[in-house]
Structure 1
Amino acid sequence: MLTGYVEKILKARVYDVAIETPLDLMPRLSKRMDNQILIKREDLQSVFSFKLRGAYNRMSHLTEAERKQGVVAASAGNHAQGVALAASKMGISAIIVMPITTPPIKVEAVRMLGADITLHGNSYDEAFDYAKQVSADEGRVFIHPYDDPLVIAGQGTIAMEIMRQHPDPVYAVFIPVGGGGLLGGMAAYIKAIWPEIKIIAVEPADAASLKAALDAGERVKLDQVGLFADGTAVRQVGEEPFRIAQKTVDHVVTVETDEICAAIMDVFDDTRSIAEPSGALSIAGAKKYIQQNGLHDKTMVVINSGANMNFDRLRHVAERAEIGERREVLFAATIDEQPGSFQRFCKTLADRGITEFNYRYADKQQAQVFVGVRMSGREEERQILFENLTHAGYQWIDFTDNEMAKLHVRYMVGGHAPQAENERLIRFEFPERPGALLRFLTHIGQRWNISLFHYRNHGAAYGRVLVGIQVAPEFNEEFQAFLDNLGYVHWLETDNPAYDLFLK
């Protein structure tokens, strides 16, 4: 079975549209993980993903009559671009059915390649069913994104290139899995040539259809899948890829959204390119597998399978990457509601960088603060932080793995506080450097009670803080003199309508 695929891969017609992508060292990640990690740059293809290989190889085998009828495909984006490019190259009519949830950047890319687009359904499965109906109604050839031997063979040419580019056997190859076409082609070729190389499949934890199938001994359909890694959001692994996987896959690693975001950051740090979530999947899996198994001095290959990332999704990625790398801890703490308590609390955090500090006055005795602290990534450092807080008498709750806190609550700390009498709202700006927030609080001193505080480090040159301070009318002149002598750029926001509507 595997040798049959080797022959198909060697004969695959992909280089009319695809390039042989480089296999590059990831120097920073390799040093950090103490293993040599090589990245296959499929994001450098003309459609920014590997999918054109399988699509073109399949369509190059169409008969003349089939070409006249045209083709139809269902895709969340990358396969769609491959089919559209192949159709344009061959002069074939193509209809692409895409889920309504497909990122606009992928829809526009397909449209620019000249294919007709139909947006249908909220998932790949609904788009798939509709595309099959179009095929039956119009006689068009359905180009499957992964469950077709010719598509699988086209994707397998990536493994052929890797084996040529790195003639010595590597320890493991990490392959992202959605429907399984890429895994099927690469695993069949690698295991036929170098059976000792480990094949590690990587899936999003919320779309792990291959793992579920291997555990059950048969293909199963997941009730639902997460859409963050939209390129691999498939409820059921393909029949043919699953058949190959049963004979070739050594291990399956599942990764969380935060771990994928951290891997996107790793790719950027080493290549200055931005992988889409599914494109960074195998990098996240390699990091997790190395850490779980304590591996050192091994050579691994990962696949950057795509770079079709919507720009606005970068906000979410940047927000979650540090947590995924375990370099940020989020927690809530209870402190005394009195002047100087913020400063004393920050001193307990020692010299650690504070990434976030949110608070709103609610009670005369106690204050609840939402805090982010930068970490080195070592688990023992996190434990030391919480031990120090406990020793100092603070109650705390770790929110680092609390999805609701990360997605919503951190942005909702606030609200009206009519009990915060004589409140002044001031927006400050100060040079951002380690310890800057503590110095800021030290300058404010213990003279005034802070009733609102919002700070988030976004990596800019300046830190921006919104502060509510309670000042009785008889101390107006003293407070103004305090602001003048403080030395920080500031704006008085007490009359801002946003304050009146949501915070006062």
Structure 2
Amino acid sequence: MTQIQHSPEARTRPGAQLSVQIEDIEAAQELLADIIVRTPMEHSRALGRLVDATVHLKAENLQRAGSFKVRGAYVRMARLSEEEKARGVVAASAGNHAQGVALAAKKLGITAKIYMPHGVALPKLAATRDHGAEVILHGSNVDEALAEAQRHSDETGSVFIHPFNNTDVVAGQGTIGLEILEQQPEVDTVIMGIGGGGLLAGSAVAIKQQAARLGREVKIIGVQAENAAAYPPSLAADALVPIKGVRTIADGIAVGRPGEIPFEIIKDLVDEVVTVSEDAIARALIFLLERSKMVVEPAGAVPVAALMEGKLSDLGIRPKNVVAVLSGGNIDPMLMLRVIQHGLSAANRFLTVKMMLKDLPGELATISQIIADADANVTGVDHSRIGGALSMGEVSIVINMETKGAEHSEKVLNRLRAQGYEPMVPQH
């Protein structure tokens, strides 16, 4: 990773020349004392067994408005002058920052206009409106909504509340880092997701500088979705590299360009940035539901995905005490349903097979009995006699079933093959 070279005097603490310092974060923590919830730290034995370490989950999905975003939004807006507050604020977000700004505006008595992309999750849209903000749908992604919000600010004088590229916002998000060290003093590795970088940057300042005060070292690992990973190429180039075609289930971190302020901090303080696949995110979300009883949105599940995929060991990191930040819990139930189905399929616990059968009475009953004898549960059947690939007397059948994992799925397939059938498994 590219590192900034500092003078010997600046090396007395990590990031000593950066735009946000631990004193800024400590001041933000005081400002937020009566506003936010001190979210719990949950021990995960199941994850600990996977990575051979003690693992705790910082449950920011239980924060007010459902994510960490209210921390930075409130700090930024509370520090506006009375004249700026009177002009109102404008922001753009796929949901979490929108809710954070709307809640902060309500607390501070400021009018707020929020631009959200078309297709935003309905619960996030409804929650933002419920806090009293005016919501305008614009563009197909966060970057387009951001551009429109900035245009509105330029034209009207409303104060633009950027979701990550602002020092007050970064300081507010960094209060999570202080809480992590207070709640888990022995932590040696912290892992969290990255979109624009405000959370990671602020937390890195708080954790690295506080750990330096204590004569300790804590590794900071950032995680991005593979399909929305602007940080790896930017860090490699030591410059902001925008990416196109951002598309991921982790809409909370679907950002195509790092923020300038977070980037300068992250390249200096963060140890590594890794990426995870959509399948890995889906598996992590299901893992959190089943094993930790946590409702977490895909963006909040990416650090768990990285742990489950062995990303730390791939980097040669052998931690003893890990904290993974579950950054948000705002998920559309319909998206949750799709992610669960996809995650079960990715984990070989939801098997779909397609077969050609003879169009004879009893064939479907025979197939069903074979599957039942293999202890799998059929959840859906699609049956068709018409299609370009079908001959007279043939039927195409697609069967969805619940299985117990990869080994069990293969057992079901082998049972079908042994009876002369040719099951095909479509790629998910």
Quick check: 1:219 aligned with 2:240? yes
Q: What residue in structure 1 maps to residue 355 of structure 2? A: 359
Distance 1:431 1:72, change over 3 A: farther
Residue 160 (1) aligns with residue 99 (2): no
- The 1-side partners of 2:183 and 2:345 are apart by 35
Q: 1:287 to 1:293 in 2, by over 3 A?
A: farther
CA distance in 2, matches of 1:432, 1:421: 19
Q: Match for residue 162 of structure 2? A: 144
Match of 1:286 among 307, 320, 332: 307
Aligned match of 1:236: 257
Residue of 69, 73, 81 corresponding to 1:51: 69
CA pair 437-194 structure 1, distance change in 2 beyond 3 A: closer
Structure 1 residue runs without a partner (length 5+): 329-352, 362-419, 439-448, 466-504
> Which residue type is aligned with residue 354 of structure 2?
N
Whether the aligned pair in 2 keeps the contact of 1:176 and 1:281 (CA below 8 Å) is yes
- Alpha-carbon displacement from aligned partner over 1:157-189 (angstroms, at most 9, x marks no partner): 000001111122x23111210000001100111
SS of aligned partner of 2:64:
coil
2:125 alignment partner AA: V
Matched, 1:457 2:401: yes
Partner of 1:185: 202
Which whole-Å CA distance do the structure 1 matches of 2:180 and 2:57 have between them? Answer: 10
Whether contact under 8 Å (1:55, 1:83) holds in the other structure is yes
Partner in structure 2 of residue 68 of structure 1: 86
Please give the alpha-carbon distance, in whole angstroms, between the structure 2 residues aligned to 1:191 and 1:433.
Answer: 56
Please tell me whether the aligned partners of residues 91 and 115 of structure 2 are also in contact (alpha carbons under 8 angstroms): yes
1:35 and 1:295 in contact (8 A); partners too: no
Which sections of structure 2, spanning at least 5 residues, go unmatched?
1-14, 378-392, 405-411, 413-428
Give me the whole-angstrom Cα distance separating, in 1, the residues matched to 2:369 and 2:93: 48
* One-letter amino acid of the structure 2 residue matched with residue 123 of structure 1: N
Identity %: 37
Task: Give the TM-score normalised by the residue count of structure 1.
Answer: 0.68
Larger radius of gyration: 1
Which of 287, 305, 321 is equivalent to 2:327? 305
Distance 1:6 1:319, change over 3 A: same
Call closer, same or farther: CA 1:299–1:100 in 2, change over 3 Å: same
Contact 1:283 1:302 in 2 (8 A): yes
Which of 108, 112, 115 is the matching residue for 1:94? 112
The correspondence of residues 263-412 of structure 1 with structure 2, limited to 5 A, is 263-288=284-309, 289-293=311-315, 298-322=320-344, 324=346, 327-328=347-348, 355-361=351-357
Closer, same or farther: CA 109–166 of 1 in aligned 2, 3 Å? same
- CA RMSD, Structure 1 to Structure 2 (Å): 2.6
Residue 283 of structure 2 aligns to a residue in which SS?
helix
Which position in structure 2 is the counterpart of 1:480? none
Q: What is the match of residue 12 of structure 2?
A: none
| Aligned: 1:132 with 2:150 | yes
Task: Output the CA distance in 1 between the equivalents of 2:281 and 2:38.
Answer: 26
Secondary structure of 1:258's counterpart equals helix
Using the size of structure 2 for normalisation, the TM-score is: 0.79
Size of the alignment, in residue pairs? Answer: 366
| Structure with more contact order per residue of length (Cα contacts < 8 Å, sep ≥ 6) | 2
Pick from 189, 193, 212: which aligns with 1:172?
189
CA distance in 2, matches of 1:286, 1:192: 25
Query: Which AA in structure 2 matches 1:232?
Result: I
Report if aligned partners of 1:27, 1:270 keep a CA contact under 8 Å in 2: no
Cα pair distance change 1:137/1:18, threshold 3 Å: same
- Following superposition, the deviation at residue 286 of structure 1 comes to 2.6
Q: In the alignment, what sits opposite 2:26?
A: 10
Find the residue that maps to 1:243 and give its secondary structure.
Answer: helix
What does the per-residue CA deviation read over 1:306-346, in whole Å, with 9 as the maximum and x for residues that have no partner? 1111111123222232455xx42xxxxxxxxxxxxxxxxxx
**What CA deviation, in whole Å up to 9, does each residue of 1:8-47 have, x standing for no partner?**
1100022332111111111222123322111100011121
